[in-house]
Amino acid sequence: MTKEIQKNKILLASQKSKISKIIINAKNLERVYFNGVIKTYALKNISLNIKEGEFVAIMGPSGSGKSTLLHQLGLLDIPTKGTILIDNKDVVNLSDGERTKFRLKKLGYVFQSYNLIPELTALENVYITPMAQGITTEEYKKKARDILKKVGLGDRINHYPSELSGGQQQRVSIARALVNKPQILFADEPTANLDSDSSRETVKLFRQLNKEIGQTIVMVTHELEEGKKADRIIWVKDGILDVDKK
Amino acid sequence: MNKKDLKVIAFLAYKNIVKSKSTFLVIIAVMAMSFLSITFFAAIIDGLGYEFEEGMIEGLTGHLMIEPTKDNLYLENVDTLVKNIKRIPGVVGVAPRLESSVIAKYKNTEMGVPVFFINPQDEIKVSNFHESILLGDYLSEKDGNELIIGADLVQSYAQEDDTQKRLNINVGDTIKLSLSNGFVDEYKVKGIFKTGSKFSDDKILLNYGEYNKIFHTDDVASKILIKLPERGSEDYYKQKIIDLGVSDQINPWQTKMGAVKQFVGSLQITNKITGFIGLLTAFATIYIIIFINVTNKRKQIGILKAIGIKKEIILGSYVLQSIMYGVVGVIVGNLVMQGLLVLLTLHPLAMPIGDVIPILTTERLITTSVTLIFASIIAGFFPSRKAANDNILDAIFGG
């Protein structure tokens, strides 16, 4: 019994030390779209920090810039101004090739419309990124099988996306995002195309991953109920950081 | 690019092809059809040209032709010369000929006709008259006042709308022949021949001995035709004949083509132009099809980039797919073409000039294959490079 308590204390201490480290540091982010001479500000002067092991929800009304913010933090787009440090590395000024490598090794993505490759089975969709890292066939297949089992799709590994339900496809997409053990998992409205049961399951899975393995998660959502499941909600309105609260 | 990248390239290309079988089959069909459209027509034209040349070789020139020098009317000591040439290893046949022209008269029809005086046995190895008899029989050595006549001179073989003057004769009828020295005699039609060559089927053939009887000559010939084992060996055998001490003109068949050379040359130019246009059309068609295919995969290219797959891998997988389209399409096209060639060799195309067998030259085969494979690579490379260079969000969300 004493041993058990001690083990829990150590675990909690390691979680706390993890949480104290800042993994994302964004300063004065600005994203402007140019249409001829017309400038449209999608993001204006946004600064934020996200700690390692945090589960953060980015919320706001439609067109507020929440997805744009996620795309900047997740290296899918380049901000017009400002800096982003991920794990103390300046990621704004990386070359195209370096950004790709960084995404492969450090980041994972879950999109609103799953965005699986239709020609690949669930297993193949998941092992394509570890395969690209150059590990052995046995290793990447095992990794992919294990993670698919973890998201509850152990019996669907050889199915193509067209043979899976929306919820199942989203779970494959989560497995793909997690297979390389990314430092940060980015999820862009992951429940928007799902029914309420699947939505609940997906957010529950995120919470579970965050708690069990300390996975840092940055999730865009417009559902307050889902946002409340996160450690913290960052509110964005008209491209400006509105409220940032626990 | 390293081994692991190549593995991902091959994996993505393979999966794209096997999962999109219908797209693959459509592109392969278009590639194969393009291959056929370029090579088949060209092969027919080449076959047609070959047939024209063969008609001249079989009927008029042989592969080599010995002719008297400018100052002489005849070749002399022909018997010895023919025997010596026959002894050259590889020579297929040697046939001396005497040539003249006659006025042929049957009932009220009279017309000028070129005549070959031939040695029937020698001709069998050199020309194709013996195997072109439509009616009656081929000449024999013993035939004196008998002749065989080309179908183009016979009324019953004329096309309906052909108004050219012909003799309304049949096998067994007798024609009166008048020669330039005033000799007139009657000859019985022993056979009617049709070689399919316009250059042969307008002739009358008489026995070699008749010429000597009419013109009081001996051991002479207007020309000696030599049949070789194959085209292309003319220079070698010409030298062998020169080595026999022959001082007369020895001309390869190419120098005797005249109008045929111009006609075949025109066909070849036409062939080059249509071949080039065919290649351009095939290039454009293949480019458009692969372009549409790659453009439809723009979102997937964006996703692959987003999850960290290198641009070079994505580009490589699409180029590899294009190479597969090109190579498999060309192989299928080639197999179909070879099948057609076999079929048309067994059942040649019946054309007015004779039976035509399409000829696919190695040069054309290689040019067409390389161009189509190149077209498919270009068609795969540019659109996939554009998609791979696109902004990730534009590619995924269709910006």
Assigned token pair, A55: 């589960």
Residue A10 has pLDDT above 70, yes or no: no
- CA dist A230 → A22, A56, A221, B47 (Å): 17, 5, 11, 79
Q: What is the DSSP letter of B154?
A: B
Whether B309 and A128 lie within 8 Å, measured CB to CB: yes
Under the banding of pLDDT at 50, 70 and 90, the label for residue A11 is low
The pLDDT of residue A8: 53
What is this model's ipTM? 0.86
**What pLDDT, on the 0 to 100 scale, is given for residue A5?**
54
By C-alpha distance, the chain A residue nearest B389 is: A96
**Binding-site residues on chain B for chain A (CB distance < 8 A):** 2, 4-5, 7-8, 11-12, 15-16, 19-20, 299-300, 303-311, 313, 391-393, 396
Whether the per-residue pLDDT at A14 is higher than 80: the answer is no
Q: Which residues of A touch B307 (CB under 8 A)?
A: 103-104, 109, 128-129, 176-177
Residues of B in contact with A116 (CB under 8 A): 303
What is the dihedral sign for C-alpha A96, A100, A103, A106?
Answer: negative
Write the CB contacts of A101 (distance below 8 Å, at least 6 apart in sequence).
Answer: B308, B310
CB contact under 8 A, A104 and B309: yes
d(CA A236, CA B96): 104
Paired tokens of B291: 């372009």
Q: Does residue A16 register a pLDDT over 60?
A: no
Out of B11, B391, B396, the one facing A115 most closely (by C-beta) is B396
Mean pLDDT computed over every residue of chain A: 88
Contact: B310, A100; criterion CB under 8 Å: yes
CA dist A83 and A51 (Å) reads 17
pLDDT-derived band at A1, boundaries 50, 70, 90: very low
Average confidence (pLDDT) over A109-122 = 92
For B232, counting Cβ atoms within 10 Å of its Cβ (0-12 exposed, 13-18 middle, 19+ buried), the class is exposed
Is some CB atom of chain B closer than 8 A to the CB atom of A115?
Answer: yes
Crossing angle for the helix pair A122-132 and B3-19, nearest 10 degrees? 160
What lies within 8 Å, CB to CB, of B265 at 6+ separation is none
Q: Tell me the pairing of strands B204-207 and B249-252.
A: unpaired
**First-last CA distance in chain B:** 30
A132 CB within 8 Å of a chain B CB: yes
pLDDT tens-digit readout, A59-85: 999 888 999 999 999 999 999 999 999
Give Cα B195 to chain centroid, integer Å: 17
Helix (H) or strand (E) holding A117: none
pLDDT tens for each residue of A191-227: 888 888 888 888 998 999 899 889 999 999 988 989 9
Mean pLDDT by 10 residues, chain B (399 residues): 89 90 88 88 86 85 91 89 93 93 91 93 92 92 90 85 84 93 92 87 92 88 93 91 87 82 82 82 79 84 92 91 91 94 91 82 89 86 84 83
